Amino acid sequence: MRPADILGIGVLASVWGTNFLLVEEALEGINPIQIVLIRLMLGAAALVLLARARRTALPRGGAVWLKLAGMGLLGQAVPWLLFAWGQQEVTGALAGVYTGLTPLMTVPVAWLLLRERPTAAEVGAAVIGFAGLAVVLAPWSGGERAPLGGQLLCLAGATCYALAYSYAGRLMRTLTDGKLSLAAAQALAASAIMLPAGSGQLAHPVRLTWLIALCLALLGAGTAVAFLVNYWLIARVGPVRASLAFYLIPVVAVVAGLAARGERLNPNEALGSALILAALAALYVWERTREARPAPVPEPAETR
């Protein structure tokens, strides 16, 4: 990969990984639904303005917008809300670890919903990753672990991401619009659904400090930046290499939580996180190997 590609991966991992810290800070003054609504609307506004500046038309047709609304809810609004609820009980560092489970959870999701049979390598990585999840949850440790309710909410958020990626794989085969157009429409559609659904929460009192306002602005800007950098990377280096940023999210989230808030993983969380990262590394190496493997050359037909 070129230096620009490595820089793009670093930017993407940094944006996604620090989002948990920003949400944790914002929760000091506003509630989870308010955070998600503001994040969605700011991100949608940034993407629409960029689309207008580049004279990119939004998709047409109710069916397309309906599909994108489902993708926006499943891949953005709902998991963001679940993670924000979970972070009322668990640290941003631990929430970032749960996001790292997403590539591993796509293995059973794709098998159950899309009937895509996993390979032995995928099954092995998923088994190691879920063993790490069991160690992180540590139901045997009593009061020494983070609250189980908050952890289960984060796990549900990661499951939503896995469902969204499986759905996106099928959806992208049927849509011909440009990536910026689809991203802007997806954010707009999700905002249009979430705004009336959560409008009652907007009237709730808030404690808005300059730090919370900055975190909300960064969350909105990060949403737009992450979309654009992700699509740019996929176009340059392909989806497998671009996905390296996703595997780095737990590392960035843990480092950000430690540096900004002094958060530390307890021993079982650290051990479970190590198992999850090992499974992610094994899965990534296997995907790179499969990507680099030359396609079989068909044997020439016999002549008589």
Q: What pLDDT was estimated at residue 85?
A: 93
Strand ranges in the chain using DSSP code E only, listed in sequence order = none
Residue 56 sits at φ, ψ, to 5 deg, of -95, 120
pLDDT for residue 87: 92
What distance in Å separates the CA atoms of residue 87 and residue 65, rounded to the nearest whole number?
31
Please, which pLDDT band fits residue 213 given cuts at 50, 70 and 90? very high
Q: What is the tens place of the pLDDT at every residue in 95-149?
A: 888 887 777 777 777 777 666 676 777 777 778 877 877 777 765 555 566 778 8
What is d(CA 49, CA 290) in angstroms, rounded to the nearest whole number? Answer: 39
pLDDT greater than 70 at residue 228: yes
Identify the CA nearest to 90 among candidates 24, 156, 138. Answer: 24
Residue pair 261/24 in contact (Cβ under 8 Å)? The answer is: yes
Per-residue pLDDT of 40-53, as tens digits, reads: 888 889 888 988 88
Instruction: Give one DSSP letter per residue of 260-295, joined into a string.
Output: HH-----HHHHHHHHHHHHHHHHHHHHHHHHHHSPP
High-pLDDT (> 70) share of the chain, %: 82
> What local confidence, expressed as pLDDT, does residue 86 receive?
93
Q: How much is the pLDDT for 295?
A: 53
**Confidence band of 304 (pLDDT split at 50, 70, 90):** very low
Sign of the C-alpha dihedral, residues 290, 9, 161, 273?
positive
* Residue linked to tokens 């990377």: 233
